[in-house]
Amino acid sequence: MAVGQHRPTQLVIDCQALHANIQAEVSRLKADCELFMVVKANGYGHGAVQVAQVAKDAGATGFCVAILDEALELRAAGFNEPILVLGVTRPADAPLMAQSRISATVADLNWMREASRYLKLTVPNRPLNVHLGLDTGMGRIGFRTTAELQAALNFLGAEADDFNFEGIFTHFSTADDPDQAYFKQQVAKWQEMVAILPFRPRYVHVSNSATSLWHDACNGNMVRFGVAGYGLNPSGTAIPTTPYPLQPAMSLESELVYTKRLRAGESVSYGATYTAPTDEWVGTVPIGYADGYERRLQGFHVLVGGQFCEIIGRICMDQLMIRLPQNFVRGTRVTLVGRNGQRQITLQDVADYCDTIHYEIACGFTSRLPRRYVN
Ligand SMILES: *Cc1c(COP(=O)(O)O)cnc(C)c1O
């Protein structure tokens, strides 16, 4: 998709905010505990390579991604730190991962059996680093019983030329929930499973942002730090207090490209769903659902001149219309996410209006929006 470099609509990423969040977390961790910044999905929409650089400067010693291509992107950008692919990769890509020193998540024994065939065929000059994923209740991927885990450990012991047992981990499904009952069940299951390990691998990790912020009792020796690094509360609003203030790094800005005086009775946008009750000023903003600014946001608001302005009529693919309190000159700044004057619109506000979570909004902004890095 073409990037809109000639349109005044952009995501503004505050590197200082990213740095402050990550550094605050690094400084809370125990001395033997590392922070791997999670930069999947283009760094939650913030730009994976740029976030990785800031995270490294702030003390991150490795990275987690969801898919192999995201790991390769970081390697191509020159990052030599450990990178763990959290999702299931193709066994056929095991040699590529081994060559690139990218660590694979292993969720079942058959994956390793298949991968070992590819590793033997291509003889990469180093073993593949693997992290065994344990499903302690997330119900997504991973070994589910001590028997399954034992079989994997036996296999790893026998195939030490092909695989390096580098890590073991689990993922909590309710670490952002004030009710800790299910979390505690997962911790118990985790402890039962890791008890059979003959030795601890290099990385033992259980914490996403929520776990690291609110449950640091079982941090292991590495945390997979994601959403909070971007300045977003992992719980949304369910757990309002965090050990340090989270600073949101992402803003979304545009400009008025056209204004007009609408007469009472005149309508706006597809379907003519909005009709002006009285004469009013209306501005057009060059952003739409093709940018990831969801069509469901009709009726929500943006900020112009420090004032909330309602989005009137349907949001189009590339443009939307807002009601203005007065006429503004073309080129006046429009803030869709972030601060403008004394007021602010957060990703959480946008997510609430869309009945979803800020994660989905942040990584839903499309590549048509240029990312501009400030501070
Ligand atoms: C995405 C992900 C994380 C990071 O989660 P946040 O809530 O963004 O901190 C950590 N671990 C795994 C396995 C993940 O998939």
Flag residues of the chain having pLDDT under 70. Answer: 217-219
Q: What is the pLDDT of residue 83?
A: 98
> How many DSSP H helices and E strands does the chain contain?
11, 20
Nearest CA to 283 out of 253, 319, 316, 307 is that of 319
Q: What is the pLDDT of residue 125?
A: 77
Nearest-angstrom CA–CA distance, 165 and 7: 49
Residue to substitute in 44, 171, 235, 250 for testing ligand 1 pocket (most ligand atoms within 8 angstroms of CB): 171
Residue to substitute in 25, 35, 86 for testing ligand 1 pocket (most ligand atoms within 8 angstroms of CB): 86
Give CA torsion, residues 32, 35, 205, 120, to 10 deg. -100
* 191 Cβ neighbours under 8 A, 6+ residues apart: none
Nearest-angstrom CA–CA distance, 116 and 113: 5
Are the C-beta atoms of residues 319 and 357 closer than 8 Å to each other?
no
Q: What is the pLDDT of residue 101?
A: 97
Q: What is the pLDDT of residue 160?
A: 83
Are the C-beta atoms of residues 129 and 96 closer than 8 Å to each other?
no
Alpha-carbon Rg of the chain, whole angstroms? 24
Distance 204 CA to ligand 1 centre (A): 15
The secondary structure of 305-359 as a DSSP string is TTEEEEEES---SS-EEEEESS---TT-EEEEEEEETTEEE-HHHHHHHHTS-HH
Q: How far is CA 307 from CA 11, 29, 183, 187, 333, in A?
A: 20, 41, 42, 47, 11
Catalytic residue numbers, as ranges: 40, 270
- Token pair in block for residue 302: 């943006």
Distance 158 CA to ligand 1 centre (A): 31
Are the C-beta atoms of residues 177 and 120 closer than 8 Å to each other?
no
Q: How far is CA 177 from CA 85, 93, 244, in A?
A: 26, 36, 19
Q: What is the pLDDT of residue 330?
A: 97
Atom 2, ligand 1: residue with shortest CA distance: 208
Residue to substitute in 21, 42, 64 for testing ligand 1 pocket (most ligand atoms within 8 angstroms of CB): 64
- Token pair in block for residue 211: 């776990």
Any ligand 1 atom below 6 A from CB of 227: yes
- Atom from ligand 1 closest to the CA of residue 359: 8
Any ligand 1 atom below 6 A from CB of 86: yes
Q: What is the pLDDT of residue 273?
A: 96
Nearest-angstrom CA–CA distance, 70 and 95: 17
Any ligand 1 atom below 6 A from CB of 205: no
Nearest-angstrom CA–CA distance, 288 and 336: 11
- Token pair in block for residue 215: 């449950």
Atom 15, ligand 1: residue with shortest CA distance: 86
Nearest CA to 231 out of 64, 41, 26, 21 is that of 21
Domains with residue ranges and CATH for the chain: 15-230 (3.20.20.10), 250-356 (2.40.37.10)
- Residues of the binding site for substrate: 140, 317
Nearest-angstrom CA–CA distance, 299 and 161: 60
Amino acid in the structure at residue 244? Y
Please tell me the pTM assigned to this model: 0.97
Q: What is the pLDDT of residue 122?
A: 87
Taking residue 162's Cβ as centre, other Cβ atoms within 10 Å add up to 24
Nearest CA to 86 out of 72, 110, 69, 106 is that of 106
